[in-house]
A and B are shown apart, each in its own frame.
Chain A
Amino acid sequence: DIQMTQSPPSLSASVGDRVTITCRASQSVRSYLSWHQQKPGKAPKLLIYAASSLQSGVPSRFSGSGSGTDFTLTISSLQPEDFATYYCQQSYTIPDTFGQGTKVDIK
């Protein structure tokens, strides 16, 4: 199975901050990498697919980059509604696997 490792596991940030979360795959997943946001008690929500494509309706302050084994999710200016847990997911090969999550909370 492909292991997905996110860093950091958690971070504290302020509204307006630029936030970067990284995800590393144990082997190449090409660009089959997506990012999901999850708020407490809610289902995950797709933000980015194919490593850098913004899902319809997602604010443009979210962006993704990378290919192969190293990927990044960036929030250019953190907003109050962005405090949540973020997961990367590879869909290159079965079984699909997720990173362990990065919790973003208020500083």
Chain B
Amino acid sequence: QVQLVQSGAEVKKPGASVKVSCKASGYTFTGYYMHWVRQAPGQGLEWMGRINPNSGGTDFAQKFQGRVTMTRDTSINTGYMDLSSLRSDDTAVYYCTRAAVAVTGGAFDTWGQGTLVTVSS
């Protein structure tokens, strides 16, 4: 079955970086964009950006430009989200999700289980 499995929870100090992984299975990895969405405690969903696993091309929300990097390794069907210069308000659950315009009009049809990133001194 289609699955996205993320890496485990992280605790980081302010100013540090975090890298979250998302391993895809059950589908053709290069056939779907991988998006990253975060959710701060008690808050709503916030889109961070996306990567085209086929080309490696990326798009980011302006808020994260310069601080976020998204990469992929097609040999192991895994995407990565790297966020630098962490602040306390980056504390959130980070989700990977997939979308294909031709299939669901770009809706996110499968989500990872989420990775809690806590930023604290």
A58 CB to nearest chain B CB (Å): 11
Contact assessment for B111 and A45 in the assembled complex, using a CB-CB cutoff below 8 Å = yes
A98 and B108 contact, Cβ closer than 8 Å, known pairs A43-B95, A91-B99, A91-B101? no
A97 and B47 contact, Cβ closer than 8 Å, known pairs A44-B108, A49-B109? yes
Binary interface profile of A, 34-72, with partner B (CB < 8 Å = 1, else 0)? 101010000111100110010100000000000000000
Binary interface profile of A, 11-48, with partner B (CB < 8 Å = 1, else 0)? 00000000000000000000110101010000111100
Contact assessment for B45 and A49 in the assembled complex, using a CB-CB cutoff below 8 Å = no
Tell me which residues across on chain B come within 8 A of A34, comparing CB atoms. 104-108
- Bound-state CA distance A50–B95 (Å) is 22
- Bound-state CA distance A95–B58 (Å) is 12
Tell me which residues across on chain A come within 8 A of B108, comparing CB atoms. 34, 36, 44, 46, 89
Say which residue of B47, B62, B111, B112 sits within 8 Å of A98 (CB atoms). Answer: B47
- State the majority secondary structure of interface residues on A: loop
User: How many chain A residues touch B (Cβ–Cβ < 8 Å)?
Assistant: 25
Contact assessment for B107 and A98 in the assembled complex, using a CB-CB cutoff below 8 Å = no
- Bound-state CA distance A92–B99 (Å) is 12
What is the chain A residue whose CB lies nearest that of B93?
Answer: A43
Provide 5 A-B residue pairs closer than 8 Å at the C-beta atoms, listed in order of the A residue.
Answer: A46-B104, A55-B104, A94-B50, A95-B47, A96-B47
Binding site for A on B (CB under 8 A): 35, 44-47, 50, 59, 61-62, 95, 99, 101, 104-114
Binding site for B on A (CB under 8 A): 31-32, 34, 36, 38, 43-46, 49-50, 53, 55, 87, 89, 91-92, 94-101
